[in-house]
């Protein structure tokens, strides 16, 4: 995958992304609603096995500096249905990068892959849900007590999706 937006290049991961990816996945605040922050070795293994070998995610790279600032989960969940998710380097939060990149990936899914639907799920009922709504996603479910946060407390799992209006 290679997509250009106004400020970003969204591309497949490469092994040289390990340090930048660690800045994202190794940050406690960034990983707060997912799982404990990764150490560098776990980040390298995840990069090699999931991001590169299985092509389960793509990276968002700043055009201006060529720095990887975002991890975007993007994989086919079942035929014609894709899952999307995102983590961005905390130093780049609140600048619209998650929205810009995810919007482009959804357009790619609908336009190039002819996806029927793209969905996302989170236990972050504020920031992530806000982006999902901004992307045009609609709530499919909100299941209380199904997922644990990093503190081990049960949280609501929100599932949002957007359907391809041109799917046949």
The structural domain count of the chain equals 1
Helix axes 127-134, 97-111, angle to 10 degrees: 40
Instruction: Please tell me the predicted confidence (pLDDT) of residue 25.
Output: 98
Examine residue 145 and state whether it is found in any structural domain, yes or no.
Answer: no
Note whether residue 135 is domain-resident: no
Mean pLDDT, the chain, integer: 94
- Domain containing 112 — which CATH number? 3.40.630.30
86 within some domain: yes
- The whole domain housing 26 covers 2-118
Is 126 within a domain?
A: no
Write the pLDDT tens digit of every residue in 105-156. 999 999 999 999 999 999 888 899 999 999 999 999 988 877 766 677 788 8
Q: What is the pLDDT of residue 64?
A: 95
Domain for residue 151, yes or no?
no
132 inside domain: no
Average pLDDT over residues 55-74: 97
Answer yes or no: is 150 within a domain.
Answer: no
The pLDDT tens digits of the residues spanning 28-49 come to 999 988 889 999 999 999 999 9
Strands ordered across the beta sheet of 117-122: 2-4, 8-12, 57-62, 68-78, 81-88, 117-122, 154-163, 138-148
61 is a domain residue: yes
Residue 10: the pLDDT is: 98
Residue 168: band (very low, low, confident or very high) from pLDDT cuts 50, 70, 90: low
Q: How far is CA 159 from CA 19, 120, 122, 168, in A?
A: 31, 6, 7, 23
Return the CA Rg of the chain: 15
What pLDDT is recorded for position 143?
85
DSSP string spanning 85-153?
A: EEEE-GGGTTSSHHHHHHHHHHHHHHHTS--SEEEEEES-TTHHHHHHHHTT-EEEEEEEEEEE-TTS-
């Amino acid at each position: 995958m290679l997509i250009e937006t106004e400020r970003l290049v969204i591309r497949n991961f490469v092994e040289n992304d390990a340090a930048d990816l660690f800045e994202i996945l190794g940050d406690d605040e960034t990983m707060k609603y997912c799982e404990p922050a990764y150490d560098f070795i776990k980040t390298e293994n995840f990069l090699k096995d999931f991001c590169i070998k299985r092509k389960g995610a793509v990276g968002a790279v700043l055009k201006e500096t060529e720095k990887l600032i975002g991890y975007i989960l993007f994989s086919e969940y079942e035929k014609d249905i894709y899952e999307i998710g995102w983590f961005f380097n905390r130093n780049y939060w609140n600048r619209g990068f998650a929205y810009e990149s995810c919007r482009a990936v959804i357009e790619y899914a609908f336009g190039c892959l002819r996806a029927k639907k793209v969905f996302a799920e989170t236990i972050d009922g504020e920031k992530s849900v806000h982006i999902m709504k901004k992307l045009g996603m609609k709530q499919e479910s909100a299941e209380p007590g199904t997922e644990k946060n990093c503190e081990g407390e049960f949280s609501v799992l929100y599932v949002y999706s957007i359907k391809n209006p041109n799917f046949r």
